[in-house]
Amino acid sequence: MGGIEEMKLITTVVTVIYMAICLGIGIYSKKRAEAGGKEFFASYKQFGWLLAGLAAAAAGMSAYGYVGGPGLAYKSGAAVWYMPWFFVLSYGMMTWLNGKPMRMMAEIARIETFPDLAHERYQCKWTRFFLSLNLVFCIWAYLGTQVLGGGLILQWLTGLDAGIAGVLILLVTIIYTYYGGMVGSILVDGLQGFLMILSIVGAFIGCIMIIGSFDNFVTTVGSSSLGPHYVDPVGFPTEAMLPLVFSWIFVLAFGVVGQPHVNTKFYALKSYEDLRFKGFIGGVGYGIAGFMYMLPAIAVLYLVAIGQVQPLKIADQAVFVFAEHIPMWVTVVIIMGLLAALMSTASSFLVIGSALFTRDIPKAFGKELSQKDEVRIGRIALLILGLGACIFGLFGGYMVALLGVLGLGTFVACSLPVVIGYLWRRATKEAALVAQILVLLCSFGISVGYEKLLGLKLPGGIPGYVFYICLSFLVMIFVSLVTKGSAGDRLPEKMKIYFRHLE
């Protein structure tokens, strides 16, 4: 048995053990999760700041970072190395903008989901409905990245078809989430957050073993047939690289603020005072994990430059080529980090998505289930979400990273009306409703129709989701100035209590 085959066999065995542990944690959490909807969907007041912070870091960094990120950095060069540095900023903003209102409102009203927050603020069932639809679209797109990323991992390890392999990993995630809900998801996320940080240490060691030093990397790649553009922060002059990169930075820096699967971790904190510590741990952990964007791509570009590896036909293979050129123990650690990244995000999205189908959309039409029925039907909804994720991932046609950023962009755009509403008394329900409808139309009309189906680009090469993030913000401001619903003196009573304490 050759070296690479032996390494893949050992990594596969460790992968099976790891998945068995995840399933065991999910089954262990079953009793706590079945206590009611608050526990299953939000793990309300179940954990301390360290575990919740690690879980938030793990949930935020998914397959788009660990598989798509290195692929993007390999394809685009140094122009995308800015991106991980903004990850730390995003967690600070999330804790500041969302943490306080989410925890405070959870004490005032029964809050389990992001649409719950929107409804308490605006008292509009249609705002809740269209926000839920937007989130379903985001979740399917983002879960699609996990199918793609997971499929590439198992395909590399076992030779299985990428589609079948991705579905298998999603199936394992569905099973442990089915039993444990958000309680099991956070317990597994804590383990996965630790594994992700450990994988970065391994990636750094492996990268240095290949390139020797970063000076050597810059000199070698810059003078090779690849050309100096791969180590130039400005990127390729023939493409609109900088506008595109800064669009990604904008979405990634603000993206976590709008991610319900990360925000939900605020409900899990036992104490309101733990907010600052949870935000710190999550931000530092997420920032460290962000180095996975750069390190494998740097190593593979160097190997291509010295002629040891042929240029990659599929950019998302960069992390796997990297894994074949480093010591076995480093490869095992990195693959565990890859699996941790995608499974942690997938499990959180499955729970959030099931809450949309069993709680938020029915409530928009005046239907309310009992706590026990929410859990029972929520588990059925996991299968619907899994099916939608497979369709997005297998037939969406995007690179892993770009599919993930698409989901992030819509997350930010549809979350802005809620965030603004908890910071500004003057935000109205009419503005929130118009913003949600426009985001839904733009997501399908621009991102899916104009950019994907027609293959066209907007002016300046800037992705469509950047435009409708800005549109959502402008609509909230200007429509609120000419309408009055659920704003100012017409605030709902619970919101009057909230704003008094906020001041």
Q: How far apart are CA 182 and CA 188, in angstroms?
A: 10
pLDDT at 68 over 50: yes
Q: What percent of the chain has pLDDT over 90?
A: 18
Label residue 201 exposed, middle or buried (CB < 10 Å: 0-12, 13-18, 19+): middle
Backbone phi, then psi, for 47, in 5-degree steps?
Answer: -135, 160
pLDDT band at residue 400 under the 50/70/90 scheme:
very low
Helix 162-211 vs helix 295-305: crossing angle, to nearest 10? 70
Q: Which fold has domain 3-502?
A: Sodium/glucose cotransporter (1.20.1730)
DSSP secondary structure code for residue 293 in this structure: G
Please tell me the least confidently modeled range out of 107-121, 136-150, 179-193, 280-294: 179-193
pLDDT at 43 over 60: no
pLDDT band at residue 253 under the 50/70/90 scheme:
low
Q: How far apart are CA 49 and CA 28, in angstroms?
A: 21
- Reported as a single tens digit per residue, the pLDDT across 426-448 is 999 999 999 999 999 988 888 77
Which residue type sits at 249? I
Domain boundaries, the chain: 3-502
Alpha helices in 212-228 (DSSP H): 214-222
403 touches 392 (CB < 8 A): yes
Average pLDDT, the chain: 79
Please give the model's pTM, rounded to 2 decimal places.
Answer: 0.78
Mean pLDDT of 449-471: 78
Which range, 108-122, 190-204, 228-242, 428-442, has the best average confidence (pLDDT)? Answer: 428-442
Q: What is the pLDDT of residue 40?
A: 57
Two tokens, residue 254: 């603000």
Q: How far apart are CA 244 and CA 252, in angstroms?
A: 12
Q: How far apart are CA 322 and CA 331, in angstroms?
A: 9
Q: What is the pLDDT of residue 407?
A: 63
Which range, 182-191, 298-307, 363-372, has the best average confidence (pLDDT)? Answer: 298-307
Q: What is the pLDDT of residue 339?
A: 77
Mean pLDDT of 237-257: 65
Mean pLDDT of 303-315: 92
Task: Give me the residues paired with residue 269 across strands.
Answer: 47
Q: What is the pLDDT of residue 184?
A: 66
Mean pLDDT of 222-235: 82
140 touches 392 (CB < 8 A): yes
